[in-house]
Amino acid sequence: MLPFQLSNEICSLNAGEDRLALTVEAEIDKTRKSCMVRCV
pLDDT digits (tens, 9 = 90+) for 4-33: 998 888 888 888 989 888 899 999 888 888
Residue 4 falls in which region: left (phi positive, over 0), alpha (psi -120 to 50) or beta = alpha
Total count of domains within the chain: 1
Cα–Cα distance for residue pair 19/13, rounded to 1 Å: 7
Residue 2 falls in which region: left (phi positive, over 0), alpha (psi -120 to 50) or beta = beta
Which segments within the chain are labelled E, that is strand? 24-28, 34-39
pLDDT band at 3 (very low <50, low <70, confident <90, very high): very high
Q: Which structural domain range is residue 15 located in?
A: 4-39
Cα–Cα distance for residue pair 30/40, rounded to 1 Å: 24
Q: Given this model, what pLDDT does residue 25 score?
A: 92
